[in-house]
């Protein structure tokens, strides 16, 4: 990249709000140079967002920057890591200064909030898309993985999965919500999900497995089941709903969105019986509640559901299809 217009673009991102002690060289040399603290394992996640596929091309650039970062931070939360650095490879059709100002302002506001530093990247011309790399630390041996769940472990979720799907439905005018506050709440849950970093960090000594809910609870809990080689039972009556969601979403639609709406960026995790007391203490002060929705089991294959104490069969294929919108 040596063309004039695009070196201008690079300037929007060459501002150091936070100069972290672990960054020896950030943007501007051939490589970023970084010193990982002793006894910390590095956690890395990479995601690409393509316009028209992962977001609408006319999305507010401030919302786009927020969500692109949040989605990646959610992956760090799932392993229990503290965020540290970010790389941004941004491909743009042209240099729209208003767009760049709003996007980069929002990005740096978030980086500052999380004490993160942008350490490198690339700006190229082409159809709008971006690839974000997020780097964080987790104490050696403490990272949560998908494969640690054991039969008998309890299954939890943070927050209220389903809100994001309801918010998307409002944005796409598939759901009408007259109450302004409720509508705003649900839209924000879709546009500006909160990565559950504090929960992830609190859980890393307590949970036997964890994942973040990006494709929907069925799909992502399914990854834990598959990796851990267990089945599980989930009680549909225990699914946690927000007040706004409960007020405006019809019951069967609600179950569907909670299980497979996707883009919740809540955590789903498992906790051994022995750690349940410690969990209540560790999570109690974080504001956002966690809810036990079921239990891992050795005597069933895959995911089984109950309602009113009785087994129910969900058309899982339909749910999977739905998850892909």
In terms of Cα–Cα distance, which of 159, 154, 313 is closest to 232?
154
Q: How far is the CB of 158 from a copy of itself (least distance, A)?
A: 14
- Of residues 190 and 196, the one with the C-beta less far from a copy of itself: 196
Q: Is 45 annotated as a binding residue?
A: yes
Q: Is 106 annotated as a binding residue?
A: no
Q: Is 47 annotated as a binding residue?
A: yes
- Of residues 51 and 95, the one with the C-beta less far from a copy of itself: 51
DSSP string, 144-174: --SS---TTPEEEEES-TTHHHHHHHHHTTS
- State the Cα–Cα distance between residues 92 and 14, nearest whole angstrom: 17
Q: Is 30 annotated as a binding residue?
A: yes
Q: How far is the CB of 314 from a copy of itself (least distance, A)?
A: 18
Q: Is 319 annotated as a binding residue?
A: yes
- Of residues 45 and 160, the one with the C-beta less far from a copy of itself: 45
Q: Are 206 and 271 in contact (CB under 8 A)?
A: yes
- Of residues 127 and 318, the one with the C-beta less far from a copy of itself: 127
User: By three-state DSSP, how is residue 142 classified?
Assistant: coil
Give the number of other CB atoms < 10 A from CB of residue 27.
18
In the complex, the residues that contact a copy of itself under the rule CB under 8 A are 2-3, 24-25, 29-36, 38, 41-54, 75-76, 78-79, 81, 87, 89, 91, 119-122, 124-127, 129, 131, 133, 135-136, 138, 140, 143, 145-146, 211-212, 215, 219, 323-324
Q: How far is the CB of 288 from a copy of itself (least distance, A)?
A: 19
Q: How far is the CB of 144 from a copy of itself (least distance, A)?
A: 9
Q: Is 75 annotated as a binding residue?
A: yes
- State the Cα–Cα distance between residues 229 and 232, nearest whole angstrom: 10
Q: How far is the CB of 325 from a copy of itself (least distance, A)?
A: 10
- Of residues 138 and 259, the one with the C-beta less far from a copy of itself: 138
Q: Are 158 and 196 in contact (CB under 8 A)?
A: yes
> Which residues are CB-contacts of 305 (< 8 A; sequence separation ≥ 6)?
233, 234, 235, 236, 311, 312, 313, 314
Q: Is 214 annotated as a binding residue?
A: yes
Q: Is 260 annotated as a binding residue?
A: no
- State the Cα–Cα distance between residues 20 and 22, nearest whole angstrom: 5
DSSP string, 229-251: T-EEEEEGGG----HHHHHHS-H
Q: How far is the CB of 165 from a copy of itself (least distance, A)?
A: 14
- Could you say which DSSP state residue 195 is in? P
The binding site for ATP comprises: 121-122, 146, 214
Residue numbers in the known binding site for Mg(2+) are 30, 45, 47, 75, 122, 212, 215
- Give the annotated binding-site residues for substrate: 54, 263, 319
Per the annotation, binding residues are 30, 45, 47, 54, 75, 121-122, 146, 212, 214-215, 263, 319
């Amino acid at each position: 990249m040596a063309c004039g217009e695009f070196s201008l673009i690079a300037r929007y991102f060459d501002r150091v709000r936070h100069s972290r002690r672990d960054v020896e060289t950030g943007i501007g040399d051939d490589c970023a140079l970084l010193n990982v603290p002793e006894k910390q394992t590095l956690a890395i996640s990479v995601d690409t967002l393509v316009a028209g596929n992962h977001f609408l091309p006319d999305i507010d650039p401030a919302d786009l920057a927020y969500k692109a970062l949040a989605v990646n931070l959610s992956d760090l939360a799932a392993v229990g890591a503290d965020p540290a650095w970010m790389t941004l490879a941004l491909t743009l059709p042209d240099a729209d200064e208003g767009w760049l100002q709003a996007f980069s302002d929002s990005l740096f506001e978030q980086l500052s909030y999380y004490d993160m530093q942008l350490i490198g990247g690339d700006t190229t011309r082409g159809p709008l898309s971006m690839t974000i790399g997020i780097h964080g630390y987790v104490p050696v041996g403490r990272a949560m993985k998908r494969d640690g769940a054991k039969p008998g472990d309890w299954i939890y979720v943070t927050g209220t999965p389903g809100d994001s799907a309801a918010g998307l439905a409002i944005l796409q005018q598939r759901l009408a919500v007259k109450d302004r506050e409720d509508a705003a709440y649900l839209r924000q849950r879709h546009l500006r999900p909160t990565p559950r970093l504090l929960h992830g960090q609190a859980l890393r000594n307590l949970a036997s497995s964890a994942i973040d809910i990006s494709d929907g609870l069925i799909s992502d809990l399914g990854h834990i089941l598959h990796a851990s080689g267990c089945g599980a039972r989930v009680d549909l009556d225990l699914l946690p709903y927000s007040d706004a969601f409960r007020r405006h979403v019809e019951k069967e639609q609600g179950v569907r969105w909670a299980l497979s709406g996707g883009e919740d960026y809540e955590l789903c995790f498992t906790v051994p019986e022995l750690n349940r007391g410690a969990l209540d203490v560790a999570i109690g002060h974080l504001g956002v509640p966690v809810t036990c929705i079921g239990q891992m089991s050795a005597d069933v294959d895959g995911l089984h559901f109950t309602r009113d104490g009785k087994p129910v069969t969900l058309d899982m294929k339909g749910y999977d299809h739905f998850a892909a919108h």
